[in-house]
Amino acid sequence: MRGPHNIWRLIRTGATLERTGAMTVVLDAFEAPKPLRIAARTLGWPFKWLGYKGDPAMPPVTRALTALGPAYIKFGQVLSTRPDVVGPELAGQLKVLQDKLPPFSRDEALAEIRKELGVDPDVIFAEFSEPIAAASIAQVHRARLADSGEEVAVKVLRPGIERAFRKDVDAFYLIARLVSVLAPAARRLKPMDVIDHFNGVTRAELDLRLETSSCAEFAANTADDQGFRVPQVHWFLSARRVMTLEWAEGIPANDLAIIDAAGLNRAELGDRVLRLFLQHALRDGFFHADMHQGNLKIGRNGDIIALDFGIMGRLDEYTRRVYAEILFGFIRRDFRRVAEVHFEAGYVPPDRDVDEFARALRSVVEPIFGMNATQISMGRLLNYLFEVTERFGMETRTELILLQRTMVVVEGVARSLNPQINIWDTAQPVVADYIKQNVGPKALLRDLTRTARVLSRFGPKLPQMAEQALIRGIEPRTAPPHSRMHPLLAAGLGAGAMVVVAAVAGAF
């Protein structure tokens, strides 16, 4: 579906923002420069009559994003947790996107369940409610199982959502392509790769079998985390477009008045949200990547309950160590080490000056130490960081996109619960513990042990490999003499490898 015809989608986007009155709100919230305002008005105003009308009862931006479709709604959900970036007025408008979208009918949901599970819903459920929450991609019903009486949550995808979502993402591809052509300085951000990554992650939300699997894995990983809970899945009542979980009773994380009335400590909850996210990302390499307030509940006992596992992030062990070392360096204000880690990981081109990069990092981070969240403008901070990374030629790391985006969202959630939170003080014990366990002599010994185990699997083949090396060593070579290995050296290496692996194999 990609191609020039998506220009129509871009025109419709600008026209919808104009028609709903959202254009001015958005441009003001982002403090858009004059050239961008002119371009946006040029795209939107002449075609205003082509824009979607939306629901006049909604605030302008919410009205526009809801009318434009799922991908736009997802974007709005992320921004809703960052009043410091988009301003309190716009953030307030966007919060309604989290769980209050117009639902589809109960009968349509039951028809989807019948088609997906191949069973009459009346046989499965003794009770099945009207929709209790409707999001951009799916909605949730409360039900009671006929055989056990257990209360469950049943998630059902919106009819036709797959096609609607593809249309939105196609428009994003066109935007990324235009950015690559018209703004060469932005190519280092790999806009096409970014959209590819976004597309792959969000398409996983459109197969609830994958979400069911993610939920089960996440529950297993976090089973021993104090003050955190993940609902258990019902595998046999889940399919591609239907997912069934145990019912989780709790207070919505954005309902601060009820949280206060329940006598819960919001400051402690805010700290715990941030700590748990870092633990999951660093310890497990598997984290909830859509942790806005609409996907979190607070149990009456103070437990944080996670919901909606359509977008999960995964980091390999090397990336987790790099990320931890960078965070730890910031916490210790060791900007030279932070800079070195960026160079060692290949995040910054090797021809740049490490000391200059360290100085630039210090200029960004040093001013915010000791401040609470109310004194920090993350919008200005992120803009400055972008300027620094551009100056030093850093390219976008697609494997870190979800982590970076989720960190912004989680900090927004923690900030809403505890406005005085200091992210560095909260992160320090989690990152320090990870560093202690995974960077240093203990980690080196563990890595060598794993390497030895892998080598030991080749033990039976080593004699043959050594013999082949000897044969190749004494055969005539057409390559230059300096490129050949001496036969005695080859034999010695082969024998040495056999001794080492034999010893290792005996140890295991």
Residue 105 CB: number of other CB atoms within 10 A?
A: 11
What is the Cα–Cα distance from 34 to 245, expressed in whole angstroms?
50
Backbone angles phi, psi at 37, to 5 degrees: -65, -40
What is the Cα–Cα distance from 235 to 214, expressed in whole angstroms?
12
The one-letter code for the residue type at 421 is I
The one-letter code for the residue type at 213 is S
What sign for the dihedral angle of Cα 452, 455, 457, 462?
negative
Strand, helix or coil at 278?
helix
CB within 8 Å of 190: residues ≥ 6 apart: 395, 396, 398
> Which pairing describes strands 242-246 and 286-288: parallel, antiparallel, or unpaired?
unpaired
Backbone angles phi, psi at 206, to 5 degrees: -90, 5
What is the Cα–Cα distance from 271 to 429, expressed in whole angstroms?
12
Structure tokens at 246: 């145990």
What sign for the dihedral angle of Cα 78, 80, 82, 85?
positive
Interior CA angle at 188 toward 171 and 197, to 5°? 45
Interior CA angle at 16 toward 171 and 98, to 5°? 80
The one-letter code for the residue type at 256 is L
Nearest to 221 by CA among 298, 283, 302: 283
Element (H, E) at 386: helix 378-391
> Euclidean distance between the first and final Cα of the chain, in Å?
55
- Of 290, 334, 351, 355, catalytic: 290
**Residue 327 falls in which region: left (phi positive, over 0), alpha (psi -120 to 50) or beta:** alpha
Residue 250 CB: number of other CB atoms within 10 A?
A: 16
290 in active site: yes
Residues in the chain: 508
The one-letter code for the residue type at 162 is E
Catalytic annotation, residues: 290
